Amino acid sequence: MQGCKLSCWDRRERNIKKLKLNNHVAQTILEQLGGNKFITMTGAKNFMADENILRFRIGRNSKNINYVKIVLSSFDLYDISFYRITTKKITEKANRYNIYAEDLRKIFTLITGMETIL
């Protein structure tokens, strides 16, 4: 049982390290969301980083959201979009604009219903 927990943890650590190597902005966004605790609590995976963007999938939740995109704007504020992606269509469930870094966790919890830290 403990071996499974360690291997799952190692995979999450590798996701963080990949982001750290690829993009400083994406790493900062993830740290502001809660870092490894966020990944564990939400089941976040498949991280993708562009210049000012962090995208990832999340686990099941009551709002049927499975994809999140966070964009750093030129004003050092964040725009966050929540989607439901299926094989047939992409549905934007919610979006919020001009969010301060300290409000990212609160908005994420409000929209998805998922806690980001213990």
Judge whether 16 lies within some domain: yes
What is the reported pTM?
Answer: 0.80
8-state DSSP, 88: S
pLDDT digits (tens, 9 = 90+) for 63-97: 999 999 999 999 999 999 999 999 999 999 999 99
Judge whether 55 lies within some domain: yes
Residue 89 and residue 86: Cα distance in Å, rounded?
Answer: 5
Judge whether 103 lies within some domain: yes
Q: Give the CA angle between residues 10, 13, 15 to the nearest 5°.
A: 115
Residue 70 and residue 52: Cα distance in Å, rounded?
Answer: 8
Number of domains, the chain: 1
Q: Which residues pair with 79 in a beta bridge?
A: 71
Judge whether 118 lies within some domain: no
pLDDT digits (tens, 9 = 90+) for 12-57: 555 555 555 457 888 899 999 999 999 999 999 999 988 899 999 9
pLDDT above 60 (res 5): no
Range of the domain at 20: 2-112
